[in-house]
Amino acid sequence: MTEPTSRGPGDPEEPGTAGEPQEPLQADLELEPPPVRAGGPPRWMKPAAVVAGIAVAAGVAVAYRAHHRAQVLRDGTARARLLLRADTAAGYRDAARLLEPLAKLDPLQAGSLRAFALAMLFADYRDARAADQAEALLVEPGRAPEVPEAAQLAYAALALGRQEAGTAATYAARAPGPMGLTLLARTSLLAGNLGAAAEPLGRAVEADPTFPAALALRGDVQRRSGMPADARRSYEAALIASPTHARAAYGLGKLALSGLAGVAEAREALARVLDDREGTPAVERAHAALLLAPLQARAGDRAGAAATVDKAGLAPQDRGWLERAVAEQELNRAGFRVAGGMPRSLLSASDDDPYVAPPPPPPRVEPARPAVKKAHAVAKKRAVKKKAAKKPSKKKKKKAPARKGAKKKAPAKKKAPPRRHPEPRVE
């Protein structure tokens, strides 16, 4: 029989073992598995999990930062493009300020866009400091394998401000959008080719029918080409898109002075430009006064015309010229004419109509005398001359003095008259 492997609850214990702990056998130690911590992974996995968590968090942070950066650039450039679209001094200035921090994040695209805003401040408003800043921003975009369109526009605007029509046209042709076409048309006007400016402006308006810069410039070309009705529509559309657009307001004022547009509408547009002290430079406001004051004076509002001249806020010398030009424009009923002798300090790129000297006055023509009287006078003169020729000269010829020792001539004897023989008497 085999011995039982376990003891029952009533079996007696072996002697010497009562109450003492029994040590495990060697075989039991070899067969028992290693202890395992209940309720968690091994200790070596905890540091690895921490490192992985940090890496994931860092990746998420980098991804979020990149996404946020892209979002900031996208939103900022979109707002800047809306400001640039207005084609005003305030729009270009605000866009350049908005893009300043973005140009550091993206020197290629945002930097090129800021360079264009600064270049337009130089081209249209003679800001030399803005030109220097634009040149510095264009260094990196100019070295890029593909130069951004905004950089091409900036190069064109800088050349336009320096009166380099050929260079400006080259860069503008590389930017096929509405602004590039508008700058290309401006180079044609700078070169004196009015007809060549019409084609790119037509394409620009066709691509963007509400683009203020193209509409206003197209209005100038139409007005100077003898199409006042089309010019008026172009100016009105430009002012709807950009209410303080200087070129469009000037054009409407010139049409009104020529009797080809509504005076009230023109006065309202010019007054908006004149009253925009914060957004519009002093030179452009002076040109608005130059056109607004004659319209007020013609309507009998002399006090309003004087107040308009005061609002321009010009120096005494420039103010004197403005007052004379306003008086000449008021009296000129033949239509708008560019005032002569404009000081250099008042030249504006937004008002670039060429000066044309007035025609000389017609020669004075004396009234023709009746033909009968003229013929009578000629006949009388001839009779007087003929009578004077017949009269012997009353002056006696002076005798030459006799020479010493010369014999005196005897006086000539008078010849006796011939005797008349009596005729025979016939009985």
**DSSP annotation string for 23-45:** PPPHHHHHHSPPP--TTS--TTH
Q: Per-residue pLDDT tens for 147-193?
A: 999 999 999 999 999 999 999 999 999 999 999 999 999 999 999 89
Residue 308: inside a domain, yes or no? yes
CA–CA distance, 310 with 314 (Å, rounded to integer):
8
Q: How many domains does the chain have?
A: 2
Residue 226: inside a domain, yes or no? no
CA–CA distance, 312 with 271 (Å, rounded to integer):
11
**pLDDT for res 232:** 97
Residue 46: inside a domain, yes or no? no
pTM over 0.85: no
Name the more confident of 288 and 5.
288
Mean pLDDT (whole number) for 281-308: 96
Q: Per-residue pLDDT tens for 359-380?
A: 777 787 767 655 555 566 667 7
Considering the domain architecture, whether residues 139 and 252 belong to the same structural domain is answered as no
CA–CA distance, 238 with 219 (Å, rounded to integer):
9
Listed residue (200, 196, 194, 139) closest to 175, CA to CA: 200
Any idea what the Cα angle at residue 311 is, between residues 278 and 256, rounded to 5°?
100
Residue 169: inside a domain, yes or no? yes
Residue 331: inside a domain, yes or no? yes
**pLDDT for res 403:** 58
CA–CA distance, 191 with 172 (Å, rounded to integer):
15
Name the more confident of 118 and 59.
118
- Would you call 143 helix, strand, or coil by DSSP? helix
Last residue of a domain, one of 149, 175, 201: 175
- Would you call 165 helix, strand, or coil by DSSP? helix
H helix or E strand, kind and range, residue 87: none
CA–CA distance, 177 with 197 (Å, rounded to integer):
15
Considering the domain architecture, whether residues 81 and 161 belong to the same structural domain is answered as yes
Residue 271: inside a domain, yes or no? yes
Contact 211, 182 (CB under 8 A): yes
What residues make up the domain containing 73? Answer: 51-175
Any idea what the Cα angle at residue 164 is, between residues 354 and 145, rounded to 5°?
140
Following DSSP, what letter does each residue of 212-254 receive, concatenated? HHHHHHHHHHHHHTT-HHHHHHHHHHHHHH-TT-HHHHHHHHH
Residue 24: inside a domain, yes or no? no
Considering the domain architecture, whether residues 71 and 162 belong to the same structural domain is answered as yes
CA–CA distance, 397 with 384 (Å, rounded to integer):
25
Residue 130: inside a domain, yes or no? yes
Mean pLDDT (whole number) for 399-421: 58
Contact 174, 180 (CB under 8 A): yes
- Would you call 177 helix, strand, or coil by DSSP? coil
Last residue of a domain, one of 299, 323, 352: 352
- Would you call 421 helix, strand, or coil by DSSP? coil
Last residue of a domain, one of 352, 367, 397: 352
Radius of gyration in angstroms for the set of CA atoms belonging to the chain, rounded to a whole number: 53
